[in-house]
Amino acid sequence: MGNVLQIDAELKNIVVRNEIDNSPFKIGDSLLKIENKSIDSFQDFISIVSILNNNESVNVLVKRDNSIFTLKCSKEILEKIRFNNLISGFATLTYINPVTNKFGAVGHPINIGNTKKIPIKSGYISCTNNLSIKKSSKGCVGCVSADKKFVIGDFHSNTNFGIKGNVSNLDLCSYKKYKVASLDEVKLGKAQIILQDTDNKCKKYNIEVVGIEKQRRPASKGIKIKIVDKELLRQTGGIVQGMSGTPIIQDDKIIGAISHALENNPAMGYAVHIKWMVEENS
């Protein structure tokens, strides 16, 4: 818990990653078919585009949000736009079930542009070392970067509250076990987060729970928190990208995971109740 992970995944679809003039595509659009030919890999995309006529209008079936529709464009547009089906980034390990070896991380869905909960074909999580931190400041959320060590698990599930999968290459003997708190056990006041530090050790830092949403059904931002630990504030300036999924401990129970930072005050942020994160799609 609290380990900074490198997350690598192949997506189920080719996705638009930039926007250009005179293009009908939006960042996050998923390409399903070109001229009624299915796109199941990046190689499919390259092969189909290569045989298109330069001066003809091209029909492209796309998925945007939850809608599927056809767009028309030129071969030139398809050659200029950046498409890919790979993602890579950093987030934090929230929990591992010691009985099932199932893990949860991130605390929010992986989205690209307009595409929410981007479908994953196959994904992997790796442990890291040599952390480097770009501090957050008012109006600018910082970020974590690190060196990838080795793969410790895989995942296919991208849920409203993060990714879920299985750990297969990690010794859990040295990890402390925590009970999962119910919603009514979360209270205002002192708490701690567990996060990997620059010495590659998972360490506790002081925070305060300053707000609690009384949620009757699964939803994000159920807990509002404030980072008060002077050492962590000196290192990070508050919450940074890559801390999503950081577990929160109160009264020796895990109560939630960091999911969002407040850009105008990065010492403040939101967390998802651990109950929602553990139970979703379980």
Known catalytic residues? 108, 229, 244
Q: How far is the C-alpha of 142 from the C-alpha of 182, rounded, in Å?
A: 32
Q: How far is the C-alpha of 131 from the C-alpha of 264, rounded, in Å?
A: 25
Three-state DSSP class for residue 215: coil
Q: How far is the C-alpha of 282 from the C-alpha of 280, rounded, in Å?
A: 5
| Cβ-based neighbours of 70, under 8 Å, separated by 6 or more | 59, 60, 61, 62
CA 152 to chain CA centroid, Å, is 17
Q: How far is the C-alpha of 53 from the C-alpha of 58, rounded, in Å?
A: 9
Q: How far is the C-alpha of 191 from the C-alpha of 201, rounded, in Å?
A: 19
Q: How far is the C-alpha of 201 from the C-alpha of 58, rounded, in Å?
A: 53
By DSSP bridging, strand 253-261 and strand 179-180 are: parallel
Give 190's strand partners.
208
Residue 201 burial by Cβ neighbours in a 10 Å radius (0-12, 13-18, 19+) = exposed
Cβ count within 10 A of residue 69: 9
Contact 49, 34 (CB under 8 A): yes
| Nearest residue to 30 via CA among 71, 62, 72 | 62
